[in-house]
Structure formats: structure tokens, C-alpha cells
Homo-oligomer: A and B are copies of this chain.
Amino acid sequence: MQTEMTQREGAFSQIAAVIDRDIEQHITNIQEVIRQPSMSTTADGAEGIQTTARLLRDKFAALGCKDAQIFETPGNPIVFGHLDAGAARTLIIYFMYDTEAVLPGEDWIAPPLDAQIVDMPPYGRCMVGRGVINTKGPMQAFLNTVEAFQQAGIALPVNLKFVAEGEEELGSGSLGAFIRDNVELLAADDLYFPMPRQQPNGRTAINLGSKRGVIFELECSGALWGRGPGRYEIHSGYGALVDNPTWRLIEALNCLTTDNGNTVLVEGFYDDVLPPNEEQATQLDRLAHQWDEQEYKQLIGVDEFINGLTGRAALERLMFAPTLGIRGMYAGDARPGDVSVSKAIVPHRAVCKLNVSLVPDQNKEDLAQKIRAHLDKHGYSDIEMRLRPGTTSEPGSWGHVSEEDAIVKALIAGYRQFGVEPQIWPRSSGGWPGHLFQKYLGASFVSGGIGHGGRAHSPNEYIVIDGYTHSEGVRVGGLADLEKFYANLLFTYADL
């Protein structure tokens, strides 16, 4: 055992030396994947998605996956690759190769597809661009790590199965069926989603579960309503005689919520919400003392939380409350600009883009039906509700991860070796599809890593390149640290 440990340490040192030697090339590799757009939430993102899928397949093949291949789905392709090291354990490495879109008018300090390196105090050098943190940067960093193993002539201590989907930002609508249909191919012990998750002060958290989403939009139109302009916008001079679908949509939306949208009035909306169980309540109690609320607010640019919530109550709402959110809305003349950029019309349609953020044991299909029923009951049966395809494909499959699971223990150990004690969050505020792998493969799933990035989905998405030591004395990892963390995690996981 002593010998083995020493071997591990020696192997790790060799890999770390390769990472340090090649880090500039590794950064360039990340820039290359950022510069290839792969925005799934655009009307015309298909080209970038297809190109990126092929790029990944080629990368997997170049790393030695003999069966690197693209699986077509009803949505975007899923790219698979198996690195069989003849090891005892097999780990799925979950990647998402799609990113959010860049919206017109967003204010970026550097073009979002340039992957420029910019000094961003207090973080030092950062890469800025769409997908640098969420999540093509961390993805390529992992592939860099695997390459470092090979450069160092060190065998992987774990068999890896790469599963890269291209519609995470669309709700992973094709992933569940893909896993169900390929259980033998994907057979694995656990799953890891490589992702730097340190806060600016160096603290970090491990989420034992996640929320999930129902993504939909509501449209009110003259054509569907039978009142108002039926086919196209008309001169506002007719407004005294002609109904306006925008006003109707506003009234319909208003019947769904109250309290600035924070209390949902849809009948039965909260029926299946589970309060924290005993273990989760304890975790919340502990977290309330660990959580740096001010830093969290600063990070997302928010002065005050809903209803002035703070501490434990804020944390409980963040993790345990379902929400009905508006992502966007457009009607008529939706051009930005000053008040003079305004056409004198009665619009013929108005659209609101929404999402429900679900918690256990809420059910996607059930929730969608409840919203539909609520609208109907209030007289809005003409308002069309369009669900995003695939968002209702996996009802009831809430995952469950424990601090005792091997991959979670390996992650905690990895953080500790770096000098960081991770907080344990019962649930993340966002969603990712790790639970689908547990449902069909029994794999535990977790995400994390040292390093810092932020502004996912926002302008100026960034990832820290060199790392720094925070005034509280905790080190925040750079990209080389992240890649070493990945390598170390694989060794630790293999030995557990």
C-alpha cells in the first residue's frame, strides 16, 4: 500500500509537471473551443452545434477512444467516447458542449466569441466569452488533463466514458432516452461533471441534488383570440375599437402570480413541494453559519433578496421553493432604444417566455397541466401554451446523492487537499441532468472543482486563468490548478 501511494504520488507529480509545462497550449485549446460557437438557444445555432459535435468526436478519438462516435437524437447530437484503461472503476464524465446564446445589445468588455484574456480585478487574468465557465472551458480543461496523463506516460487509474450532450441549455430533452437505450454502452459506477466551483473568496459547495425546469411560453394573438388584429399589427389609431392582445396577456400573466411574481396563484402549484427532511434541515442549519451572503449578493449583482430574506430562510427558499419565472417577453414593437424608437401600432401578438423551477416531488407534466387549467379557469383558454420539447420527458425521477458516495467523497478529499473545506448544500438552485444517469445506470453524480468563473448566461462570462490568494488566505485555483485537481480526483476516486 505504501508503495502504491508513492507510485500514485510520483505519477501525479509527473502529470502536474506536464500541465505546468503545457499550460499555455492548454489555454489555447480552451480558446479554440470557445471560438467555435455552439449556442443551442438560438434560432440558427444548428451549424455550430453540428460542427462542435464533430470537433468533440475527433478530440475523443485523438485521445484514444476507439469508439468515439456521434449519436443522433431528435434534438442535438450526443457525442460518446470510451477510454478503457483496464481499471476497476468506470466513471462517466458528463459534458455539455452547448452554450447559452448572446443576446443583441448585451454589453461585453470583449467580443463573446473571441475568448480574449482580460485583466479583471480582483481576479487577475481571466478568459472572457460565452461558455468559458458554462461549460466548454472546464470541459476542455478536462480533456487537457487526459492529454497530460498521456504525455507523462501514465495510465488512467479509472476507465472514462465521455458523454457530451448538446442541449443542456434546452433542458436535456434527448438525454434520458439516449441513456435508457444505451445502458450497456454507458454502464459505469459513478458520474462526474468537471466544473470549477469556488466562490471569489475561495469557498465552495457540493450540491447533493438539483432543481429541474419546465420551459414554456404563452402567446396571446388576435388570430387565436378572435379579437384584436388578426393577421398583422395595425395603426394605433384603430386602438379605440380594436382589442390589444398585449393587454390580455398581461392580465393572464397577472392571474398566475402575485407579490411581484413571487407567490404563485396557480391552483395546486405548491401541493407536492417537500419541505426539508431532517438531514436537509441539519444541513441548512449548518449552512446558515457558513454562507457568505454578502459575497453571494455581490457576485450576482443583487442588493436585496426577495422579501428581504436573509440567512437560513433565504437558503431554504433558494433550494426548496419552486418558482414561476419570466425569462423574457416581447410584443409589438419590441426594439430597444429610447422612447422615440416606438412604432404607432396595435400589436397582433404578445409572447411571454417562462420557466417553472421545480423541486421534489413536483412533476413536470403535472405542473404544466395545472398552469394550463388555471389559465382556462380564468377565461384564458385562447392563450396558447407551448412547452419546450423534451422538458416533460422525465417525470418523477428525482436523484439522490449522499456524502458517503465514492465520487462525492473523492471530491471532498480533493477540495481538502487544496485547503478548502466544502459546504454541503442539500440541493443546487439550478438544474443539470445528472439524475438521469442515476435513474438508468444507478450512478451517483456530482459536480465540482477548484477554480472560479462566473456570469454564466450573462454578459462577460469569465473564468480565472492564473488563480489568486484571497485576503482571507484561501487560494482560488487557476486553470493549471483545476487540471491538477481533475488528475488528483481520478487517483483518489480509484483508490476509494
Contacts and interface: CB of A to CB of B under 8 A. Distances in A.
A365 interface: no
A322 B330 CA distance: 25
Contacts of A170: 340
Contacts of A232: 106-107, 301, 455, 458-460
Nearest to A342: B353
A230 interface: yes
A226 B344 contact: no
A328 B342 contact: yes
A302 B216 CA distance: 28
A217 interface: yes
Contacts of A387: 339
A43 B239 contact: no
Interface in A137-157: none
A355 interface: yes
Interface in A289-345: 300-306, 309, 314, 317-319, 321-323, 325-345
Contacts of A431: 237
A237 B251 contact: no
A240 interface: yes
Contact of A333 (B233, B262, B353): B353
**What's the number of copies of this chain in the assembled complex?**
2
A237 B210 CA distance: 10
A457 B388 CA distance: 33
A101 interface: yes
B341 A334 contact: no
A169 interface: yes
A338 B243 CA distance: 25
A478 interface: no
Interface string A363-403: 00000000000000000000000111100000000000000
A362 interface: no
B237 A429 contact: yes
A151 to B, nearest CB: 35
A248 interface: yes
B235 A456 contact: yes
B325 A329 contact: no
Interface string A426-470: 001111000000000000000000000001111110000000000
Contacts of A178: none
A242 interface: yes
A238 interface: yes
A87 interface: no
A458 B345 CA distance: 8
Contact of A343 (B217, B227, B327, B429): B327
Given A234-B458, A331-B329, A332-B327, A305 B242 contact: yes
Contacts of A327: 236, 332-333, 342-347
A276 to B, nearest CB: 14
A211 interface: yes
A302 B230 contact: yes
A328 B233 CA distance: 10
Contacts of A319: 240
A234 B298 CA distance: 12
A378 B373 CA distance: 30
A101 B334 CA distance: 12
Contacts of A242: 300, 302, 305-306
Contact of A332 (B40, B329, B341): B329
Nearest to A302: B242
A188 interface: no
A335 B341 CA distance: 17
Nearest to A429: B237
Nearest to A432: B237
A343 B103 contact: yes
Interface of A: 40-43, 100-101, 103-104, 106-107, 169-170, 211, 213, 215-217, 222, 226-244, 246-248, 250-251, 253-254, 257-258, 260-262, 300-306, 309, 314, 317-319, 321-323, 325-348, 350-351, 353, 355, 357, 386-389, 428-431, 455-460
25 contacts: A42-B335, A107-B232, A227-B306, A232-B459, A235-B430, A236-B327, A237-B357, A237-B428, A238-B300, A238-B318, A240-B323, A241-B302, A242-B306, A243-B262, A244-B260, A244-B326, A247-B257, A327-B332, A328-B331, A328-B343, A329-B330, A329-B332, A338-B386, A339-B387, A345-B458
Given A41-B340, A230-B303, 8 more contacts: A103-B333, A217-B339, A234-B300, A241-B305, A328-B342, A329-B331, A339-B389, A345-B458
